[in-house]
Amino acid sequence: MAQEAAASGPRPIVSYLKIPDGGDPYLEGQCCKPCGAIFLGERQTCARCGADQQLEPKKLSNRGELYVYSIVHRSFPGIEVPYISAIVDLEGGGTVKGNLINIDPDPDQVRMGMPVEVIYQIAPRKDAEGNEYLTYYFQPQTKG
């Protein structure tokens, strides 16, 4: 993954997915110094306390727990269904939305509160210019 992330590598699907040179990709939050609120994506001002210019980048954990989900059976044309739309609370702060994969999209299998981890893969679609993108998914935590 690190090699793919070189200058000619995939682009991040969202600005808060960071692809460091020669390192593993990760999700980055913007943490408000005065109040500790964590946001995704660059911003000037904290939406919680209003502190201005006091946000600093924070590397978010790749582990967390499934907060809530929906199993999507109808989506826009060209989007493969079904899939699990998941909202995950990361260890140490930050809430992120993404697909939960490597588990049956079945309410009897998916359990709110289950431990999940963030994994990074090349997205199965390209943009109009043919550029590749790196995306993230959640999957049930593997042992260890």
Partner 1 sequence: MSDVYVMGIDMIKFGRYPESNVPKLGADAARLALKDAGLTIQDMEALYSGNLMQASAMVGQRILQEIGQTGIPVTNSANACATGATAFREGWTAIKAGLYDLVLIIGVEQLGRAGLLGGGGGGGGISKEGLLGSGTMPAVFAEAGMEHSRKYGTTFEQFAKVSVKNHQHSVKNPKSMYQKETPLEMVMNSEMIAYPNTKLMCSVNVDGAAAAVLASEKKAKELGMGRAVKVAASVLTSDPYTERDLVMPDINTCTRSAAKQAYEMAGIGPDDIDLVELHDCFATAEILHYENLGLCADGEAGKLIDQGETAHGGRIPVNVSGGLLSKGHPLGATGVANIYEVSMHLRGEAGARQVEGAKTGLTHVIGLGSACGIHILEKVG
- Omega into 77 within 30° of 0, i.e. cis? no
**Binding to Zn ion by residue 110, rule CB under 5 A?**
no
State yes or no: residue 97 binds Zn ion (CB under 5 A): no
Does 81 bind Zn ion (CB under 5 A)? Our answer is: no
Q: Which stretch binds partner 1 (CB under 8 A): 1-9, 21-29, 57-65, 68-76?
A: 68-76
End-to-end CA distance of the chain: 20
Q: Cβ(1)–Cβ(136) under 8 Å?
A: no
68-82 CB burial, b ≥16 within 10 A, e <16: ebebeeeeeeeeeee
How far is it, in rounded angstroms, from Cα 86 to Cα 98?
A: 5
16-43 b/e (C-beta count within 10 Å ≥ 16 → b) = bbbbeeeeebbbbbbbbeeeebbbbeee
Q: Coil, strand, or helix at residue 99? A: strand
The residue within the footprint of partner 1, chosen from 1, 51, 71, 114 (CB under 8 A), is 71
Nearer to partner 1, 90 or 144 (CB): 90
Under the binding rule (CB under 8 A), the answer on residue 52 touching partner 1 is no
* 113 sits near partner 1 (criterion: CB under 8 A): yes
Q: Does 119 bind partner 1 (CB under 8 A)?
A: no
Q: Site for Zn ion (CB under 5 A): which residue of 5, 17, 27, 32? A: 32
Note the residues at the interface with Zn ion (CB under 5 A): 32, 35, 37, 46, 48-49, 51
Note the residues at the interface with partner 1 (CB under 8 A): 11, 13-14, 37, 39-40, 47-48, 67-76, 79-81, 83, 85-87, 89, 95-99, 107, 112-113, 123-127, 133, 135-137
